[in-house]
Structure 1
Amino acid sequence: MIPVKVEEKLFQNRYRVDAGRPHINIIDSATCKTECKTQECTVCCPAGCYTAEGNGQVVLITDGCLECGTCRIICSTYRNVAWEYPRGGYGVLFKFG
């Protein structure tokens, strides 16, 4: 059996972007910067949609989201993520199931 990296498996998925209608939003970006010291979403998101800027700001790019809901659970303390499934026909397209 040949070992395959997670990144290579994720590359097999495709994502159909619903331009102008992201299915995830950060409700108040100031909360991420001032109240959330650990910013777990930047570490736990398997698709890497959340990134921490040098000034403490968290940036969200939903392209490539796996729709796993991890960010919704991780951020439950602050309730700062508005998350819903994308409209039909949009979002992640899994190649292998």
Structure 2
Amino acid sequence: MTAEWLTCSDFVTATFSHDFVADGYDHDSVERIHRGDIDEWIHALAQSGLFTNLAVTSASESWRDDPHTLLDALLADADEVTVKRYEVAWDAMDRSTFRAVDEYA
């Protein structure tokens, strides 16, 4: 028997993924995650009681460095159509961000 270590991302998926996708596509949520407004997710992680302070801090730093990792964890159990819808929205936000940066450069 091979033991598998569960990561913080695995627990986030198990804890929050179902609720995240159950209500259908949520543009506001993906937009907030995309711009790095992830405090609600960090708070939920901390309040869940499943994680040490170190794990919450580690997840927080990881998500702040790359918010897409949070979205990946939230969509890990979603069907491929739902994942594609969120990815298309994320890519559109990336393009919009790049255009805005180019306009100010």
Q: Which has the larger radius of gyration?
A: 2
Q: Which has the higher helix share?
A: 2
> Above 0.5 in TM-score?
no
Q: Which has the higher strand share?
A: 1
Pick the TM interval, shorter chain: under 0.3
